[in-house]
């Protein structure tokens, strides 16, 4: 699946290399991708995807450069947990 965030295509890949992580955002010059562990429930995967999309927004806008890694993670957790608790989810593209 490819999602578009702030004009940037991001590949969403259903697994991560590091099994100690639930998900990861990789922001490169030419490529952005989000990996989400596929051995979690759909609800957990939806939460991790929302969390990683917020990391992507901070990266693409450059806001992450103003934050330490610890502060960024704290901000992303606060925002993603609250948005998820009030029902925000990525609307998945329809398959034909
Ligand atoms: Zn995070």
Rounded CA gap, 92 and 75, in Å? Answer: 25
Alpha carbon of 24 to ligand 1 centroid (Å): 7
Nearest to 54 by CA among 22, 78, 87: 78
C-alpha–C-alpha distance, residues 44 and 27, integer Å:
22
Name 19's Cβ contacts closer than 8 Å, sequence gap at least 6: 37
pLDDT number for residue 94: 55
pTM over 0.85: yes
Q: Which residues contact 8 (CB under 8 A, 6 or more apart)?
A: 32, 56, 60
What's the 31 CA to ligand 1 centre distance in angstroms?
19
Distance between Cα 96 and ligand 1 center (Å): 33
pLDDT at 30: 82
CA 82–ligand 1 middle distance (angstroms): 14
Per-residue pLDDT tens listing for the chain (96 residues): 999 999 999 999 998 777 788 999 999 888 899 999 999 999 999 999 999 999 999 999 999 999 999 999 999 999 999 999 999 998 876 555
Domain boundaries, the chain: 2-85
């Amino acid at each position: 699946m490819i999602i578009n965030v702030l004009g940037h295509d991001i590949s969403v890949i259903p697994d991560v290399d590091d099994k100690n992580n639930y998900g990861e955002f990789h922001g490169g010059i030419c490529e952005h991708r989000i990996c989400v562990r596929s051995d979690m429930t759909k609800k957990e995967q939806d939460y991790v995807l929302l969390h990683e999309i917020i990391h992507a927004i901070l990266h693409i806008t450059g806001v992450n450069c103003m934050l330490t890694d610890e502060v960024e993670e704290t901000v992303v957790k606060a925002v993603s947990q609250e948005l998820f608790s009030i029902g925000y989810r990525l609307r998945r593209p329809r398959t034909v």
